[in-house]
Amino acid sequence: MTEASREAAPASTRGRPAAGRPRRVTGRAPGEPHRIAYLFLLPGLVAYVVFTLFPVAQTVRLSFYDWDGITSKTWHGLGNYRELFDSTEIRAAFGHSVELILFYAVFSLAIGLFLTALMMHSHVRGLRFFRTVLFMPQTIATVVVAQAFTWIYDPSGPLDAFLRSVGARSFAKVWLGDFTWALPAVGLIGTWISFGLVLILLLAGAQRIPQELYEAARVDGAGFVREFFAVTLPGIRNELLVAATLTTITALRNFDIVYNTTSGGPAGKTEVPSWLMFHDAFEIHRVGLAAAIATVLTAVISLVALGISRFYTEARQ
């Protein structure tokens, strides 16, 4: 029986000299701790366990088996993980993911920071208009985005037509089929999707910076660059952390853009862990190996997210 119900029902505790005694001093506010809170948590927690934790645990368990998805599973121990770390294809896929962070996170953060600095430096009209237009790529379904860029990168598409028209004929190529350029081409789609989100986040932070700080910086003779490093950047630290974490996670688990543009090609040059996971599980029916990739990818994403927030807490002190 819990403490709360004992307190609530003194009549049942016969034999105790309860009458007339002052209430026991516990040092807590009355009614605390709120045990009813667990009842409030229960429905959400049940749904969370059933739909999130249980599948995750199931995936981790599957990663120790050899299974084609149909016939019975056989215990495989760490075999899938050994294969994962031995396979040059899978290692390359994780490498591609790291390269995509450059495009999804670093480039879009750079563009976002630059535009934020510009917008804070000189007050332009139509800020709301630009904000809306620049955020638009975020709102479009990724399948549509992939379709649009497949067309743009096509040899008969606008990009190559533009390059030919400005005389850079030798640069025109089959972008998504090129061994060196396919991955950067996919990455730039990520930059295109991400930078609007980054800009919105950073602007929201920057607009909370007191105007007096900018005035003070200008009185002290700070230029564009100095003003950015002395006023804007310190003021948007938290937003930068959120933006960096979100874009890095998006880069690492990128699946839909790759699947809808190159499907990992040419010759596996744009294969990423999420795509391999899908391929192994549903196309070549190696569920155990796919589960192992999923487990490692989840671990990597958690570590990276943790690392970014650590880095920031330390930088602040």
The Cα 101–Cα 274 span in angstroms is 14
Residue with tokens 């602040």: 316
Contacting range for another protein; rule: CB under 8 A; set: 11-19, 38-46, 77-85, 230-238: 38-46
Is residue 147 close enough to count as binding another protein by CB under 8 A? yes
Selected range binding another protein among 73-81, 146-154, 204-212, 279-287, rule: CB under 8 A: 146-154
Angle subtended at Cα 298 by Cα 295 and Cα 304, rounded to the nearest 5 degrees: 140
Q: DSSP per residue over the chain, as a string?
A: --HHHHHH-GGGSTTS--TTPPPPP-SS-TT-S-THHHHHHHHHHHHHIIIIIHHHHHHHHHTTEE--SSS--EE-TTHHHHHHHH-HHHHHHHHHHHHHHIIIIIIHHHHHHHHHHHHHHS--S-HHHHHHHHHHHHHS-HHHHHHHHHHHTSTTSHHHHHHHHTT-GGG---GGG-TTTHHHHHHHHHHHHHHHHHHHHHHHHHTTS-HHHHHHHHHTT--HHHHIIIIIHHHTHHHHHHHHHHHHHHHHT--HHHHHHTTT-STTTT--HHHHHHIIIIIS--HHHHHHHHHHHHHHHHHHHHHHHHHHHHHH-
Q: Which of 227/271 has CB closer to another protein? A: 227
156 contributes a contact to another protein by CB under 8 A: yes
Residue 44 binds to another protein (criterion: CB under 8 A): yes
Q: Is 119 in the site for another protein (CB under 8 A)?
A: yes
Q: Is 177 in the site for another protein (CB under 8 A)?
A: no
What minimum distance in Å lies between the beta carbon of 144 and another protein? 7
Binding of residue 311 to another protein (CB under 8 A): no
Binding region for another protein (CB under 8 A) out of 120-128, 169-177, 205-213, 309-317:
120-128
Q: Decide: is 275 part of the binding site for another protein (CB under 8 A).
A: no
Binding status of residue 161 toward another protein by CB under 8 A:
yes
Q: How far is the CB of 265 from another protein (least distance, A)?
A: 21
Provide the minimum distance between the beta carbon of 166 and another protein in the complex, in angstroms, as a whole number: 13
Which C-beta is closer to another protein: that of 66 or that of 278? 278
Q: Taking CB under 8 A as the rule, does residue 241 contact another protein?
A: no
Q: Does residue number 144 form part of the binding site for another protein (CB under 8 A)?
A: yes
| Residue 171 interacting with another protein (CB under 8 A) | no
- Does 229 contact another protein by CB under 8 A? no
Cis status, amide bond into 137, omega within 30 of 0: no
Give the closest residue to 244 by CA, choosing from 205, 273, 276, 189: 205
CB of 50 to another protein, least distance (A): 11
Out of 181, 253, 265, 312, the only residue in the binding site for another protein (CB under 8 A) is 253
CB of 37 to another protein, least distance (A): 4
In the complex, which residues of this chain contact another protein (CB under 8 A)? 32-38, 40-41, 43-45, 47-48, 52-53, 56, 111, 114-115, 118-119, 121-124, 130, 133-134, 136-137, 140, 144-145, 147-149, 151-152, 156-158, 161-162, 192, 195-196, 224, 249, 253, 255, 298, 301-302, 305
